[in-house]
Structure 1
Amino acid sequence: MRWSDFVAKVRDRGQYPTVQEAERVSRIVLSALGGHLTGPERTELAVRLPEEGTRVLTGQIGTGKPLSGSQFVDSVAARIEGATPATARWDVSSVLSVVAELAGDDLLGRIIDRLPPGYALLFGRAQLAQLPQLV
């Protein structure tokens, strides 16, 4: 997939009025994700993204403290002028749902397992809670 195709999908999912807005949101979300995703999953995802997406994702050094899904959305909201938690959640989901398609089910499952709780819905997936086993 080319970067322009990636941005077009984000634009469609997020119903952004312009390509420029969809590209800006894509860069911000991928950059934020790149700061939180580590290990082999980061590398595997990078090779599945368009070249520009790979640069944005891998251009970030990992943060020391992993953020929950909600904190991640808040961190994205802080990067987008005029964003609220609700609009940032929309932006994050618009981008990460496209990322999920490119990742595929196996890699996406490993990515979600590596990240703190709360990311599955951002990728457009349900996150089932494990119930304690009864003895």
Structure 2
Amino acid sequence: MRWEAFLQEVRERGEYRTEPEAERAARVVLGLLGAHLVGQVRSDLAARLPETFALILLNPLQAAEPLDPERFVRATAAWIEGATDATATWDVSAVLSVVADAAGDELMERILLQLPVGYDLLFGRPQAP
């Protein structure tokens, strides 16, 4: 996926007024997501993202432990100036729904296997119980 197309999708889904707002959300969310994915799954996802975002995903901050979805949202809020849990939920959903589209169904299944229960909702891909 090209940079412009990825950011345009994030901007539309997040209803951001400017491209820098969408880019900031994408950088933070992908940095946090990269800390939770390992091995071939992370590499396969990076291959489907624009190069700059792929590098962010591949060189994340190291997570001491996997964050459940609620803590992932709180961590996102902590990294975005002025964000609240509500706005961070919006940011996470906007970015991860675009990531899910770029990944496709098979890779999304593999991604969700590496993440704690509940991330399917953040990606906009609810799983049957």
Identify whether the pair has TM-score above 0.5, normalized to the shorter chain.
yes
How far apart are residue 75 of structure 1 and its match? 0.6
Q: Which runs of 4+ in 1 moved over 3 A?
A: none
The letter of the residue matching 2:109 is: G
Tell me what 2:20 maps to. Answer: 20
Tell me what 2:4 maps to. Answer: 4
The letter of the residue matching 1:98 is: V
From the CA coordinates, give the structure whose radius of gyration is larger: 1
Tell me what 1:54 maps to. Answer: 54
Tell me how far apart the structure 2 counterparts of residues 72 and 128 of structure 1 sit (CA, whole Å): 22
Structure 2 gaps of 5+ residues are none
Contact conserved, 1:29 with 1:92, CA < 8 A, in 2? Answer: yes
Aligned length: 129
How far apart are residue 31 of structure 1 and its match? 0.7
> How large is the Cα RMSD of the aligned pairs?
1.1
What do residues 20-57 of structure 1 show as CA deviations (whole Å, max 9, x unaligned)?
A: 11111111111111111112211110111111111111
TM (normalized to structure 1)?
A: 0.91
The letter of the residue matching 1:39 is: G
Tell me how far apart the structure 2 counterparts of residues 114 and 59 of structure 1 sit (CA, whole Å): 17
Tell me what 1:88 maps to. Answer: 88
Tell me how far apart the structure 1 counterparts of residues 112 and 67 of structure 2 sit (CA, whole Å): 13
Tell me what 1:117 maps to. Answer: 117
The letter of the residue matching 1:119 is: Y
Contact conserved, 2:35 with 2:61, CA < 8 A, in 1? Answer: yes
- SS, match of residue 48 in structure 1: coil
Tell me how far apart the structure 1 counterparts of residues 69 and 112 of structure 2 sit (CA, whole Å): 10
Structure 1 gaps of 5+ residues are 130-135
Tell me how far apart the structure 1 counterparts of residues 76 and 24 of structure 2 sit (CA, whole Å): 12
Tell me how far apart the structure 2 counterparts of residues 81 and 53 of structure 1 sit (CA, whole Å): 20
TM (normalized to structure 2)?
A: 0.95
Tell me how far apart the structure 2 counterparts of residues 89 and 75 of structure 1 sit (CA, whole Å): 10
